[in-house]
């Protein structure tokens, strides 16, 4: 696996066994900004829904994800926009998005 998005997905899957996950490369939107590289693969948006986040604060969840991706940060990953939810929070978010029935 040479694509950083694939590596991020694999690392987060191994660590958090997500029920749902999405990894999106946003590097093109950050061209010219700090940390951006000509080849991209520096800025990502990540959604992870995992029971492993239950009982953890938002800060603790973010720290856990950053720890899981430490090697990627050391290798050029610059920024993550994180959405980290428990299954219950994700269900509540889905209900809010769908509106009243």
Give the integer Cα–Cα distance in Å for 25 and 55.
29
The domain ranges of the chain are 4-98
Q: What proportions of the chain, in percent to the nearest 5, are helix, strand and coil?
A: 50, 20, 35
pLDDT of residue 32: 57
Q: Identify the CA nearest to 4 among candidates 40, 49, 51, 47.
A: 40
Positions of the chain with pLDDT lower than 50, given as ranges:
1, 30
pLDDT at 1: 39
Distance CA 87, CA 8 (A): 20
CATH number assigned to the domain covering 4-98: 3.30.300.90
């Amino acid at each position: 696996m040479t694509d950083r998005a694939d590596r991020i997905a694999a690392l987060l899957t191994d660590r958090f066994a997500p029920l749902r996950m999405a990894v999106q490369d946003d590097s093109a939107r950050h061209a010219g900004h700090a940390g951006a590289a000509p080849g991209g693969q520096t800025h990502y948006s990540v959604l992870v829904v995992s029971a492993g986040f239950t009982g953890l604060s938002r800060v603790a969840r973010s720290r856990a994800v950053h720890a899981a991706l430490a090697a990627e940060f050391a290798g050029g990953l610059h920024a993550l926009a994180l959405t980290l939810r428990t299954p219950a929070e994700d269900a509540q978010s889905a209900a809010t998005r769908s509106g009243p029935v």
